[in-house]
Amino acid sequence: MKILVLRFSSIGDIVLTSPVLRCLKQQTGASVHFLCKESFRSVVASNPHIDRVFTFQKKVSEVLPALLAEQYDIVIDLHRNFRSLQVKWRLGKKAYSFRKLNLEKWLLVNLRIHRLPDVHIVDRYMACVAALGVKYDGQGLDFFIPEGNDWRQRIPAEEIPAEPFIAFVVGATHATKRLPLEKMIDLCSRIDQPVVLVGGKQESELGKQVAASAGVHVYNYCGRMSLYESASVVRDAEQVLTHDTGLMHIAAAFRKKIVSVWGNTVPEFGMYPFYPTGMDANTSFQVNGLSCRPCSKIGYSQCPKGHFECMNKIPTDTIAANLNYSNSPKK
């Protein structure tokens, strides 16, 4: 049997498909192929439960001839949009799609009517393969780092902090999912242990500003490492402080203790850190009771209301205390 799994983006969403890929491979013995955007190939390239990865730049039509040649038996659609519909229609094979719950999300965002089920998106992904006799194995998420991608090989020895350290994932795709700069600086200044700032090139300047103002115990690695190297920092950290972003899910794949900070999005969307059965090492911080929250299921470049209370009211002293270090600012 040959199965094609569709999930085009993004980092976190693709990491959250890993239980499906593992269970499909181990429980059916099928040849499992994966289709995503080229920019996200590295998220799945080292996954041993995938036999082949196909990618496209902008349009699925770029890769359709190659997919047609594979003669798949089944398509598992974990993206469910117009492009995934194109793939399923052109391949003409038996397909299973997950419940995206767009209506329920719209009701919560726009009318504050909560109709979302208390079910993680991983469980909704797994429901797609139930008809194949595949069941969730309770083992949580996977993320695989190939050899030669350790962060210590990238960072000069004098910039490597003493362990244990906290990894702070400062980025997020949208600004309304990130703490403001001043809050990041204040939070870091309250931590009595080395803090490593992790983020992409777009967070390079942000990381510089936080490290310059928060204290000598803060190390800025933003924009200096690949996804794999950043993931290895998260893997080696004692704790991970993070916004609602892809590295949060990678941290959960490594079974790390996570302190997650939520702004315009909410855990009720079903994408909070997912651990193996019986484990929950996440503590979520969010401002409850705001009439304007959630304002989006994704995010904005700035607060639509102008006050950004969902992040400005986050208590940095309480977060620092939860990390088990002094919550008094450094002198």
Q: Residue 317: what pLDDT?
A: 94
∠ CA(175), CA(145), CA(153), 5° rounding?
90
Q: Residue 22: what pLDDT?
A: 98
Q: Residue 324: what pLDDT?
A: 61
Q: Residue 249: what pLDDT?
A: 98
Q: Residue 328: what pLDDT?
A: 37
- Burial of 200: CB neighbours in 10 Å, binned 0-12, 13-18, 19+: buried
For the entire predicted model, the pTM comes to 0.96
Q: Residue 327: what pLDDT?
A: 38
Give the C-alpha distances (Å, rounded to integers) separating 220 from 178, 210, 228: 17, 8, 17
Topology (CATH level 3) of domain 2-132: Rossmann fold (3.40.50)
Q: Among the CATH numbers 3.30.420.40, 3.40.50.920, 3.60.21.10, 3.40.50.2000, which is that of 151-322?
A: 3.40.50.2000
Q: Average pLDDT of each block of 10 consecutive residues along the chain (331 residues)?
A: 97 98 98 98 98 97 98 98 97 96 96 96 98 98 97 95 94 94 97 95 96 96 97 97 97 98 96 97 96 95 96 95 57 31
Q: Residue 163: what pLDDT?
A: 84
d(CA 262, CA 238): 21
CA-nearest of 269, 93, 238 to 167 is: 238
The domain spans of the chain are 2-132, 151-322
Who's near 242: CB < 8 A, 6+ residues apart? 167, 168, 169, 248, 251, 258, 259, 260, 261
* Phi, psi torsion values for 248, nearest 5 degrees: -60, -45
CA-nearest of 284, 289, 316, 311 to 300 is: 311
Q: Do domains 2-132 and 151-322 have the same CATH topology?
A: yes
